[in-house]
Amino acid sequence: MDIGLTGKCAIITGGARGIGFATARILAGEGAKIALVDINSKGIEHGAKALRRGFGIEAIAVPANIAAPEAVAKMIETVSKELAPPDILVNSAAVLDNKTFLESDGSDWDRMLGVCLTGPMHLMHGLLPGMIERGYGRMIFLASDAARVGQARLSYYAAAKGGIVALVKSVAQEVGTHGITMNVVSPGATNTELRQDREAEIRQSMGEEKYASYTRKVNRRYPVGRIGEPDDIAGMISYLASDKAAWVTGQVISVNGGFVMP
Ligand SMILES: NC(=O)c1ccc[n+]([C@@H]2O[C@H](COP(=O)([O-])OP(=O)(O)OC[C@H]3O[C@@H](n4cnc5c(N)ncnc54)[C@H](O)[C@@H]3O)[C@@H](O)[C@H]2O)c1
């Protein structure tokens, strides 16, 4: 089935690893041109090379911090010049912390909001004018089920992700008539380095025995009996990036093994 991705130009932030790179592999397999964007420049260079070799498509690595407006503007210029004007944005870049609300201070909030909320705003500002001019765009932003049901020790991450939901729903209403769809994918716990790093901290503070029982409890909360893998999330993102999803916009789609059923 042709899902209309051949030759489309996709920017994938957070593309060095995890859900971002898993999405890049699917889009590349469908014949899209890929720009991997990340602060991890080695990771995206390695990733872009693997995409070119594995799929025979055009793929470039563009190091950029999405929290910095000048870096975002420069990145979009580079992609437009070296690859093509962008048709698709997948915003997967994020950071995570492991602190209670009372342990957090203003600098924690600034860092989190900078990457997880202001960053997406810079990307929208930079990309929407061109997409409107060309009459086509697909934007997919990663949130988290922590924003839908709350999660202890993730308050400011959840707040930033809740903000992106409100932002996407609002802007989607402004740009729909220009052929642009904007959606949010909200994963449950997914087995990536982001989660593994946080789990390592939890494991250390709990000790092996308690951690094993905690892990069993977590898995029981997922009706399908396991946490997610990056490809579980990437499949939904790729569908939303395709022409098959032309009538899906302003939606928040949980991909979570049934963890919450909002
Ligand atoms: N893994 C999970 O359990 C989970 C659950 C819910 C939501 N999510 C969301 O899914 C998305 C992808 O998560 P993941 O687990 O693949 O994460 P990951 O940590 O594996 O990948 C995120 C990437 O973002 C990059 N990044 C961080 N700050 C950046 C910045 N300022 N500019 C550019 N790049 C930056 C990192 O270098 C990293 O390569 C994130 O938005 C995350 O919040 C993940």
Q: Is the pLDDT of residue 1 over 90?
A: no
Which band of pLDDT confidence, cut at 50, 70 and 90, is reported for residue 209?
A: very high
- Residue 96 has which token pair? 């995570």
For range 106-135, the mean pLDDT: 98
The pocket around ligand 1, CB under 6 angstroms, is made up of 13-14, 16-20, 38-40, 43, 65-67, 92-95, 115, 142, 144, 187, 189-190, 192-195
Q: Is residue 24 part of a domain?
A: yes
Q: Is the pLDDT of residue 72 over 90?
A: yes
Ligand 1 pocket mutation pick from 154, 192, 253 by most atoms within 8 angstroms of CB: 192
**Are residues 122 and 197 both part of a single domain?**
no
For range 111-121, the mean pLDDT: 98
Q: What is the pLDDT of residue 192?
A: 95
Query: For the chain, what is the domain count?
Result: 2
Which band of pLDDT confidence, cut at 50, 70 and 90, is reported for residue 82?
A: very high
Q: What is the pLDDT of residue 139?
A: 99
Q: Is residue 211 part of a domain?
A: yes
Ligand 1 pocket mutation pick from 141, 194, 219, 226 by most atoms within 8 angstroms of CB: 194
Residues comprising the chain, all counted: 262
**Are residues 165 and 235 both part of a single domain?**
yes
Q: What is the pLDDT of residue 198?
A: 87
Q: How far apart are the first and last CA of the chain?
A: 31
For range 87-106, the mean pLDDT: 97
For range 114-122, the mean pLDDT: 98
**Are residues 125 and 242 both part of a single domain?**
yes
Q: Is the pLDDT of residue 262 over 90?
A: no
**Are residues 82 and 212 both part of a single domain?**
no
Interval 136-157: pLDDT, tens: 999 999 999 999 999 999 999 9
Strands lying side by side in the sheet with 180-187: 59-63, 33-38, 9-13, 88-91, 137-142, 180-187, 252-255
For range 186-214, the mean pLDDT: 93
Separation between Cα atoms, residue 52 and residue 25, nearest integer Å = 10
**Are residues 91 and 221 both part of a single domain?**
no
Q: Is residue 175 part of a domain?
A: yes
Helix (H, G, I), strand (E, B) or coil at 207: coil
Domain limits for position 131:
9-189+229-255
Closest CA to 127 of 60, 178, 63: 178
Helix (H, G, I), strand (E, B) or coil at 219: helix
For range 199-226, the mean pLDDT: 92
Interval 45-54: pLDDT, tens: 999 999 999 9
From the CA of 211, how far away is ligand 1's center (Å)?
Answer: 24
**Are residues 45 and 55 both part of a single domain?**
yes
From the CA of 13, how far away is ligand 1's center (Å)?
Answer: 9
**Are residues 95 and 203 both part of a single domain?**
no
**Are residues 84 and 212 both part of a single domain?**
no
Separation between Cα atoms, residue 122 and residue 72, nearest integer Å = 7
Q: What is the pLDDT of residue 38?
A: 98
Q: Which numbered atom of ligand 1 lies nearest the CA of 40?
A: 37
For range 168-184, the mean pLDDT: 98
Return the DSSP state at 69: H
**Could you give the residue numbers annotated as active site?**
157
- Residue 111 has which token pair? 């860092």
Instruction: Specify the residue with its C-alpha closest to ligand 1, atom 34.
Output: 38
Calculate the average pLDDT of the chain.
97
Separation between Cα atoms, residue 241 and residue 248, nearest integer Å = 10
For range 206-233, the mean pLDDT: 94
**Are residues 75 and 183 both part of a single domain?**
yes
- pTM, full prediction: 0.97
- Backbone phi, psi, residue 47, to 5°: -65, -45
Which band of pLDDT confidence, cut at 50, 70 and 90, is reported for residue 86?
A: very high
**Are residues 138 and 162 both part of a single domain?**
yes
Residue 103 to residues 61, 110, 207: CA-CA distances in angstroms? 36, 14, 22
CATH value at residue 120:
3.40.50.720
For range 72-95, the mean pLDDT: 98
Q: Which numbered atom of ligand 1 lies nearest the CA of 145?
A: 6
For range 113-136, the mean pLDDT: 98
Return the DSSP state at 178: G
Q: Is residue 51 part of a domain?
A: yes
Collect all residues with Cβ–Cβ distance below 8 Å to 129 and sequence separation of at least 6.
none
**Are residues 93 and 223 both part of a single domain?**
no
Helix/strand/coil (H/E/C) assignment for every residue in 88-149 = EEEECCCCCCCCCCCCCCHHHHHHHHHHHHHHHHHHHHHHHHHHHHHCCEEEEEECCHHHHH
